[in-house]
Structure 1
């Protein structure tokens, strides 16, 4: 069973990497046009926060290195995306994005990690961070719905990338299977949001 869970976890990591990289076309367009156009930053802000929390969860929970590594990669990718977004966003959007990054990706994340490290014991720390990660996943995977407003307004699906939708679906399926194999309830709740 360990071999099967490892293989499924590696497949999950590959699909997750593809999911994290699915907005590359969007960011090529942003850099090429030197503008964020109608694209929203909220999905990238939420994905960074979620990835950072799951990286921490994977570090503090023994045997969860597959969760830690792929989410660590995702956090780095989201930092790059957010940096590009901040560089090319108009001033008002840049300010709004910077405030949200400061509040959520720096403030909330730092508070969660500090409280978990300084106040909670090992088992409770894992439970609290797992609960936060699973809860924030609802926000992360709901945040692309902000693009739906643009899709409806413009009557064009160009702001709702197909690859993102495909890899979200595949990612949810494979990580659900992995969560069942390793009996990780928080990871299971996390991916059921997909």
Structure 2
């Protein structure tokens, strides 16, 4: 029975390594776009810095335990991949984004992780140190799994799954399932408990994806409605300008036919008479003008 349990634990650990490895490779298309455009544009480095911090934290926890070698293997690979992502990001990021990324790295990796290692090393020992680090890993993992709530809120609000890739959601859900059973079979609840939340949110994401994948985004409807209103206002304005010009022409025509403008109305009234009159130009008499000097 114990042998079967060990084999089952190993199987879930290996599957967890494989699925987690695929999750680590998920951002490759993003960085390919960055490479093609030679700019990070609106992408942020925070997910990769947080991923590096998480991997380092779990490695530290695994080193304090004796039976979680598969945690060390996958998180070592994760540290390597996340470091490559961060270096790639810093290479193509503009100056402002680069400085913000370096500040985050210094705050989270250098100060945060450094304080955890130093404080737990000097203020705790043996099993207590492992328990403290385990709780830190548990709380941090819960925070990481809660982070997608913002994406879920955006999906419900906009009725659009544009920013929620289904393949990544499936991979994260499978990863949570594997690591939950791995931690459960080991009797390590610091590994198992956070993945319950990860599995729950993963299922919710997939449900929302299939609910909203064929729906028209609200934002597009608002934009199209706004554009239609603008077009109507522009057409109305053009019609008003045309009507105004027509009114002005009519007014001018009325002025030309009545005595409001002196002389013009009389000319128009006597137009027929003038047409029948034989008006000859009068010549001036010959005059001689003397100029004295």
Question: Post-superposition shift, 1:116?
Answer: 1.7
What is residue 106 of structure 1 aligned with on the other side? 110
Q: Which residue of 2 aligns with 1:187?
A: 191
CA contact (8 A) 1:43 1:144 kept: no
Contact between 1:39 and 1:159, CA under 8 Å: does it hold in 2? no
Measured after TM superposition, the shift of residue 25 of structure 1 is 1.1
**Residues 46-78 of structure 1: CA deviation (Å, up to 9, x unaligned):** 111111100111111011111111111111111
Aligned pairs for 1:50-129 within 5 A: 50-129=54-133
Aligned to 1:27: 31
Alignment of 1:32-43 (within 5 A): 32-43=36-47
Pick which of 139-148 and 98-107 moved more: 139-148
Work out which of the two has the higher radius of gyration on C-alpha atoms and give 1 or 2. 2
**Structure 2 gaps, min length 5:** 199-293
| Residues 158 and 79 of structure 1: CA distance in aligned 2, closer, same or farther (over 3 Å) | farther
Of 144, 167, 185, 2:171 maps to: 167
TM-score by length of 1: 0.89
How much has 1:193 moved relative to structure 2? 3.0
Matched, 1:11 2:31: no
Of Structure 1 and Structure 2, which has the larger fraction of its residues in helix? 1
In structure 2, how many angstroms separate the alpha carbons of the residues matched to 1:94 and 1:158?
27
1:132 maps onto 2:123 in alignment: no
SS in 1 for 2:44: coil
> What's 1:44 paired with?
48
Q: CA deviation at 1:158?
A: 5.8
Cα 1:178–1:129, aligned 2, differ >3 Å: closer, same or farther?
Answer: same
Aligned residue pairs total 194
Kindly state the Cα deviation for residue 140 of structure 1 after the two structures are TM-superposed: 2.7
Q: What is the RMSD of the two structures over their aligned residues, measured on CA atoms?
A: 2.4
User: Structure 1 45/147 Cα, relative in aligned 2: closer, same or farther at 3 Å?
Assistant: farther
Q: 1:139 to 1:27 in 2, by over 3 A?
A: farther
- The alpha-carbon distance between structure 1 residues 142 and 75, as it changes in their structure 2 partners (threshold 3 A), is farther
Q: CA deviation at 1:161?
A: 3.8
Indicate the structure whose relative CO is greater, using CA pairs within 8 Å and at least 6 residues apart. 1
Q: Hey, what's the Cα distance between the residues in 2 that align with 1:65 and 1:170? A: 20
Q: TM-score, normalised by structure 2?
A: 0.60
Where does residue 180 of structure 2 map in the other structure?
A: 176
